[in-house]
Each structure stands twice: as structure tokens, then as C-alpha cells.
Amino acid sequence: MTKSIERRRFIKTAGLSVAGAAALGSPAIAQGKKELRFVTSFPTMFPGLGTSARRVTDRINLATEGRIEVTLYDRGALVPGGVGVFEAVAAGNADMYYSSEYYHPSKSQAYNIYGAVPFGMTTPETYAWILHGGGQELWDTLHEGFNMKPFAGPSTGVQMGGWYNKQIESLDDMQGVKFRMPGLGGEVLRSIGVAVVNLPGSEVFAALQSGAIDGAEWVGPWHDLAFGFHKVVKHYHWPGFHEPGNIGSYGINLDFWEGVSDADKQIITSILEAECYLQTAEYNGASPDALDKLLTEHDVQLHQYPDDLLVELAKASRDVMEDVANADATTRAVWDSYQAFREKSIGWSSLGIQGFLNARTMAGSNL
């Protein structure tokens, strides 16, 4: 056998050995990949809430370089409806959800507090409570009972008071009004004589158009404009006492989370934290132009709720929240923590933020 033949045979044999090693290595790589089934309470094509979930999906896929492969399921695709995402992730039938915690009060009334509190904290204050006021630790304990790890989600910002077919000028004007508002805000309105109606967002326009309801709250100028409420009612009220700082939420199945490397845990955590900034900024960026269009192009009339009504709403909110807090010891602990941080924040926010806003309003456009 010549040296050239031996050389070719060696190369061929070595090549087969390398190929064999690669073939053996491929399943190991495949076995190391983790699939993350991501479910959401919001349609994935919906601006803001929907596009946020798509952005999170793309970022985790890219940042983990294939170690975690996220599949995003549209609302209702893997889990019936939007509120079942909690149960699906808790049971391990999905791995992560994007939702709002106030969709899950049947699990614990404490979840209302992690969604939105009437006359509660603003978005920055709420994030501060969660990250630096003990809110996250209490939430971790609450979620651990359902085999999940919770994360704060982005905010749609302070909401508007809602749309009415007439101007609200006093507490008496609210009596018997058929108004769509879910959650704790709806309970507050019900306690002052409003006929509260719970409807999914997709049915609100038709209900307003038919007269089945006299008014409705949705989100704020960006989404209210898109839903076209101004086509059937023209009286737009503020402020949104019911959701001054609502935030979304993520929940990750604990079995999945504990099976992820520390490095990938940090990647996921950082992406979810960044999304709080990105989507919240998106709403604050889109709402001013949308409000201007409603007022200047669609003849919408903007009204501030009268002071006497706001005072009564505040009193009713305190009563509703006390009833919620008395549901059980866990909810009481979360509420006490929230309230303590709210009281502490009021002083600084009034002095720093509100003080500056008052000064800016007084100064007008003089820069």
C-alpha cells in the first residue's frame, strides 16, 4: 500500500469518526434545548399589549442563542379565553404567561393588589413597592403556592375615567348609569349606585352603540381611539381613579424556572424588566397624539370628574379595599405592605412630582 493510499484512508476514517462524534453530539445539544410555551391574555396582534408579548418572545429566543426556544400562543390558542393562562402555567400545561393579576382574584384576593388599586399608587410608585418595598417577596410567596415565579409586567399608564353618553356633573348623575368597568373599580362604582356591567373589550362598542350601556371605561386615549368609542359617545371623563398605576404580570412555572441555568434566568429576568420600560413608554408616547386627535378631529368633549364625586369615590374605595384585605391573612399582609408604602410615597410624590407638575402648569409654555 502506497503512502498516498494510506493517507486517503486515514482522512476518510478520521472524517467518519468526526462525523460520528458530531452525530452523537447532536442529540445532547437537542436535549439541552428547552421549549418555553408562552401564553397571553391579550391578542398577539393587539397594539401594545399584544406586540409586547411578541417582542419578549423574539428577545428571549435571540438572547439565549437557541438554548430556550419560545413559542408564543395567541389568546385562546392553547388555553381557552384569556384568564385561563394562570391555571395553565400553574399546572405545567404552559410555561409562562403574560396577563394582569386582577384577572385572577378567585385564586386570592391579594392578586387584585398586584393589578390595580382604586386611588392607589402610580406606576413608578407601584414598581418601587414591588422592587424595594417588600412587594416582590410577598408576591413570590403567594405565587409559590401555585408553583410559579412572578414578575412585574409593563404598564398602560394612568387610565381615563371613561366614556359617557352625557356629562357627569354630580354624584346624582351616576345613579343607575349602566357602566362597563371590571375589577375593583367596578365594585367601587357599584357601591355608589352605578349599575355596573362586565363586558369583554370586544363587546363594548356594540353595547354603547345599541344603548345597552350608558358608558364604559377601557384603557386610555391610544386604545380608546382605536376602538372607536368616540363614534357613539362624546363625553370623555378623567381622571381614572380606578387604575392610577396598573401593571401587567408574568408568571413562570417553577419546574421550568428551576431547570434553567443561572445565566439564562438572568437573561429572562433582564428582558422582562426591560419590557416594563419599553411598553410603558409606548403607551405614554402614543396617548398624547391620540388624545389630541379625539379632541380636535372627532369633537370629543373632555370633562373632569366633579370634586364631590371624587371624594365619594375615594371613601368608597377605602371601604372596598378593606373588604378585600379582610378576605384572608395573606391578602391582609399584602394590603398592609402596599398601604404602608403608599403612605410613605405620598409625601415624596406630592413634594417632588406633583410639586413640579403644579409649577410647570403655572409656568405654561414659558421656557
Q: Does residue 333 form part of some domain?
A: no
Helix residue ranges, H only, the chain: 3-32, 49-63, 85-91, 110-113, 123-132, 135-144, 183-191, 204-210, 221-227, 254-258, 262-297, 307-325, 329-348, 355-363
Written as one letter, the residue type at 156 is T
* CA 72 from centroid of its chain's CA atoms: 17
- What pairs with residue 34 in β-bridges? 68
- What pairs with residue 37 in β-bridges? 71
Other CB atoms within 10 Å distance of the CB of residue 33: 11
Do residues 287 and 222 lie in contact, with contact meaning Cβ atoms separated by under 8 Å? yes
Three cell numbers written together for 114? 398586584
Residues 6 or more apart from 35 whose CB is under 8 A from it? Answer: 68, 69, 71, 95
**Range name among 181-185, 259-263, 276-280 with the lowest pLDDT average:** 181-185
Do residues 221 and 294 lie in contact, with contact meaning Cβ atoms separated by under 8 Å? yes
Number of domains in the chain: 1
Three cell numbers written together for 83? 384568564
Euclidean distance between CA atoms 49 and 46, whole angstroms: 6
Q: Does residue 152 form part of some domain?
A: yes
CATH of the domain at 73: 3.40.190.170
Q: Does residue 292 form part of some domain?
A: no
Do residues 129 and 341 lie in contact, with contact meaning Cβ atoms separated by under 8 Å? yes
Q: Does residue 357 form part of some domain?
A: no
Q: What percentage of the chain exceeds 70 in pLDDT? A: 91
DSSP 8-state code for residue 102: G
Residue 178: its H or E element: strand 178-180
Q: pLDDT for 306-346, tens place per residue?
A: 999 999 999 999 999 999 999 999 999 999 999 999 999 99
Place of cell 371624587: 310
HSE at residue 142, side-chain half, CA atoms within 13 A, is 29
Q: Are strands 215-216 and 195-197 parallel, antiparallel or unpaired?
A: unpaired
- Domain extent, residue 61, equals 33-156+246-284
Q: Does residue 280 form part of some domain?
A: yes
Q: Does residue 91 form part of some domain?
A: yes
Q: pLDDT for 91-140, tens place per residue?
A: 999 999 999 999 999 999 999 999 999 999 999 999 999 999 999 999 99
Q: Does residue 239 form part of some domain?
A: no
Other CB atoms within 10 Å distance of the CB of residue 332: 16
Q: Does residue 18 form part of some domain?
A: no
307 vs 152, 202, 237, CA distance in Å? Answer: 33, 32, 13
Q: pLDDT for 128-183, tens place per residue?
A: 999 999 999 999 999 999 999 999 999 998 999 999 999 999 999 999 999 999 88
